[in-house]
Structure 1
């Protein structure tokens, strides 16, 4: 690694950013062609800040992408990064003439659109006001003023008159909220869109809503709910309707990975492999299908091997990056637990061969899982064995019988109490709260029934 690049990633490491030293499986130019809008720049900048092999190329592409738009702040951010990582590159020098001209043009356009909007409001023409707000909001979004853009998009709502216009406002607000990483606001805007449009409009916008919802749930660490959202995305709608958020390959990866992290084998078979709606997406990410198939078939080490070969790709994804370690850890723990279920005793050597990488010892990982309660087993360090704790059917049956008897006794007492209240012509106004009786009748019945 060249000295400037080393200095750059030392800086990124000091900012606690994730550094990816392995080369990903995708070609950068082909990868970025799958997206449109602001996400193109955001993804390029993330790759430039995270990937050692792709750093310079990604930052140069980010600079070119910024200059095709109006957001001078993004341009400055990308150039600053390249000046540290590769100061000898021509793109590392600020294009001051472009910056000044673009800033001036942005200011003029903002003033023009604001003046036009004031005129529309004075004329009290709803459709003109709606279009004026939309034009101004799109301009504010394009120059990077996302707060003002969200506020202006919200002002469109009183003036919408058709289902399509209502959907467009919702999509604008959802998109801006995702760019701002405001996951709660994404959910709030989506809730207003749900079930509010005709069947044909609903079908057309369904992938956008499901992907947005999945991204927001992923941001809230609700992996299973996010997986179900991605898995129910309609694959028959063209990718052009949602590629400002994600590509078809992304939908497959998000849905498959989160399903592996949160579902059992039966759920994976039903919701992923047998899911006709999701099958088209899996064609764009065949490695995800392989990983899920290996897990369902009980070939857990092969499943982990497939996923590990794509870890670098997911660490460079704008929505997955922060969650890759957690997702992979959950999948790995599930694989280990499922692997041990048929056996009462397994040698540590066998476990290492199945799950330990070169120079890795799985004993500490198993100990952590046992300590956390995720794995019910014991480690015999003398004989180097892992012994699973066998369930005691007799004890389980007795415990279930006791629970049933306790529930029956409680229900019988409640019924007797109510019968007594009815016979005494008393009214039950509430239950016991905090150990106190909520009415005199409760006290009387408790004394009577003991």
Structure 2
């Protein structure tokens, strides 16, 4: 008889899911305690669909999380997945009584809130209409109707007055957009929030915006902009202000990895290691700080080894999973390029020992980098050497000499022209345009006027 777990992950793979074979370092119960709201289910369900080691535990936790809420669709999805992976578990059986009661309650609550909102609209009380739309939107979000929730939250906009109300509407819309993976729409809502005038010492909202912006940039694979957003988050702001979308540990991991993938050594030192606020985030994930320090200090193979230890953990993150191969690839390419800079030739065996693995020889990776144009080098497979292309110093000197001569000639002509103007007893008053050299010449030397002069002449 076939193993149910094998059948389950075969089905996941056939539907385009990512399967993670290794065992992660984090404890599932401690990990999920960092979050609140609907993201808890999203993260548990992703782990259950991806991790071979944590599949059953994560799906059981996802079933329990769904039953604490009101989203029947999520409950059905989690139970169905658990039934395929571990059919003998008690949680793998549908609780039809709970489903019936919850669906009835959801319908009644939707009807009640809709009726109340119609009454508020008839009375034309703006504050009541705003609160009615907000209550209906929260309810629709809780039962999984994200489209309806987004519409309700959008309808709040004409009735908001205070900056706090504008911020609340923005947070509702950002939260829904992130759940729907609508990155451009998320950025649009965040931009509206950023335009609201708030006290200079109010870092709570700014940190929320930076964290949400970073996630949206990450979703669009704009890694450097995402890194800058996470690096600007204020560590003194409590995680309760943004743990519906991410945790402080996530900020450290996202910011550190994306900075490694997109920034040079000087920027890493200045914006990551010397950043007092972000350093507090890094204290939660010391291996990220260690990897950045190793890169800055030129210990490139150690940097790669450090982040590889945690690849399994990051492959189970809802925002990193799809982008992690590209992020890790960018970090490896940077390390290899930086490693080769001091040398004109390096043995392939040395490169293999520093960066290669038994499953993936370094030679193939170097060939891919050369074809992509990220590495300017040649590989001599006979002698086992990697020859790095270096600039011709003679050619460089000749180009610099020619550029210097051209600049000198331009300056000399400029000075001669000014001397000629002075000798003709004409007045030169700088860069104003509109004068004509021919008109000045026809006016005679005794006529003083402004001379306009195009910098491109000469």
TM-score computed with the length of structure 1 as normaliser: 0.89
Tell me the distance in 1 between the aligned counterparts of 2:201 and 2:128: 23
1:108-134 Cα distance to aligned partner (Å, 9 max, x none): 000000110111111111111111111
- Say which SS state the counterpart of residue 379 (structure 2) adopts: strand
Residue 55 of structure 1: aligned partner? 55
Tell me the distance in 2 between the aligned counterparts of 1:394 and 1:36: 63
| Residue-pair matches, total | 423
Distance apart, 1:213 and its partner CA: 0.3
1:7-28 Cα distance to aligned partner (Å, 9 max, x none): 0111111112111000001000
Tell me the distance in 2 between the aligned counterparts of 1:409 and 1:60: 79
Indicate conservation of the 8 Å contact 1:70/1:143, yes or no: yes
Indicate conservation of the 8 Å contact 1:223/1:258, yes or no: yes
- Say which SS state the counterpart of residue 177 (structure 1) adopts: helix
Tell me the distance in 2 between the aligned counterparts of 1:285 and 1:359: 28
Distance apart, 1:169 and its partner CA: 0.6
Residue 450 of structure 2: aligned partner? none
| RMSD (CA atoms) | 2.4
355-364 or 398-407: which moved more?
398-407
Tell me the distance in 2 between the aligned counterparts of 1:401 and 1:77: 71
Residue 353 of structure 1: aligned partner? 353
Residue 258 of structure 2: aligned partner? 258
Residue 148 of structure 1: aligned partner? 148
Tell me the distance in 1 between the aligned counterparts of 2:404 and 2:120: 71
Tell me the distance in 2 between the aligned counterparts of 1:194 and 1:232: 14
User: In the superposition, relative to structure 1, how do residues 355 and 2 fare at CA in structure 2: closer, same or farther (>3 Å)?
Assistant: farther
Distance apart, 1:393 and its partner CA: 2.7
Residue 366 of structure 1: aligned partner? 366
1:322-342 Cα distance to aligned partner (Å, 9 max, x none): 000000000001101111111
Residue 81 of structure 1: aligned partner? 81
1:244-273 Cα distance to aligned partner (Å, 9 max, x none): 011111000000000000001111000110
User: In the superposition, relative to structure 1, how do residues 155 and 401 fare at CA in structure 2: closer, same or farther (>3 Å)?
Assistant: farther
Tell me the distance in 2 between the aligned counterparts of 1:190 and 1:216: 10
Flag the structure with larger Rg: 2
Residue 205 of structure 1: aligned partner? 205
- Say which SS state the counterpart of residue 199 (structure 1) adopts: coil
Tell me the distance in 2 between the aligned counterparts of 1:60 and 1:34: 18
- Say which SS state the counterpart of residue 321 (structure 1) adopts: coil
Residue 95 of structure 2: aligned partner? 95
Tell me the distance in 1 between the aligned counterparts of 2:285 and 2:22: 20
Indicate conservation of the 8 Å contact 1:164/1:201, yes or no: no
Tell me the distance in 1 between the aligned counterparts of 2:410 and 2:142: 64
1:140-196 Cα distance to aligned partner (Å, 9 max, x none): 000011111111101111111211111111111111111110000111111111141
Indicate conservation of the 8 Å contact 1:195/1:202, yes or no: no
Q: Is residue 322 from structure 1 mapped to residue 335 from structure 2 by the alignment?
A: no
1:239-278 equivalence runs, <5 A: 239-278=239-278
Residue 109 of structure 1: aligned partner? 109
User: In the superposition, relative to structure 1, how do residues 424 and 148 fare at CA in structure 2: closer, same or farther (>3 Å)?
Assistant: farther
Residue 376 of structure 2: aligned partner? 376
203-212 or 324-333: which moved more?
203-212
Residue 425 of structure 2: aligned partner? none
Tell me the distance in 2 between the aligned counterparts of 1:409 and 1:199: 56
- Say which SS state the counterpart of residue 17 (structure 1) adopts: coil
Residue 443 of structure 1: aligned partner? none
- Say which SS state the counterpart of residue 100 (structure 2) adopts: helix
User: In the superposition, relative to structure 1, how do residues 13 and 228 fare at CA in structure 2: closer, same or farther (>3 Å)?
Assistant: same
Distance apart, 1:65 and its partner CA: 0.3
User: In the superposition, relative to structure 1, how do residues 403 and 70 fare at CA in structure 2: closer, same or farther (>3 Å)?
Assistant: farther
- Say which SS state the counterpart of residue 110 (structure 2) adopts: helix
1:27-69 Cα distance to aligned partner (Å, 9 max, x none): 0000000000010000000000000000011001001000000
Q: Is residue 39 from structure 1 mapped to residue 39 from structure 2 by the alignment?
A: yes
Q: Is residue 192 from structure 1 mapped to residue 192 from structure 2 by the alignment?
A: yes
Distance apart, 1:399 and its partner CA: 4.1
Gaps of 5+ in 1: 413-417, 426-448
Distance apart, 1:400 and its partner CA: 5.5
Tell me the distance in 2 between the aligned counterparts of 1:23 and 1:256: 22
189-198 or 97-106: which moved more?
189-198
Indicate conservation of the 8 Å contact 1:60/1:82, yes or no: yes
Residue 14 of structure 2: aligned partner? 14
User: In the superposition, relative to structure 1, how do residues 406 and 120 fare at CA in structure 2: closer, same or farther (>3 Å)?
Assistant: farther
Residue 390 of structure 2: aligned partner? 390
- Say which SS state the counterpart of residue 170 (structure 1) adopts: helix
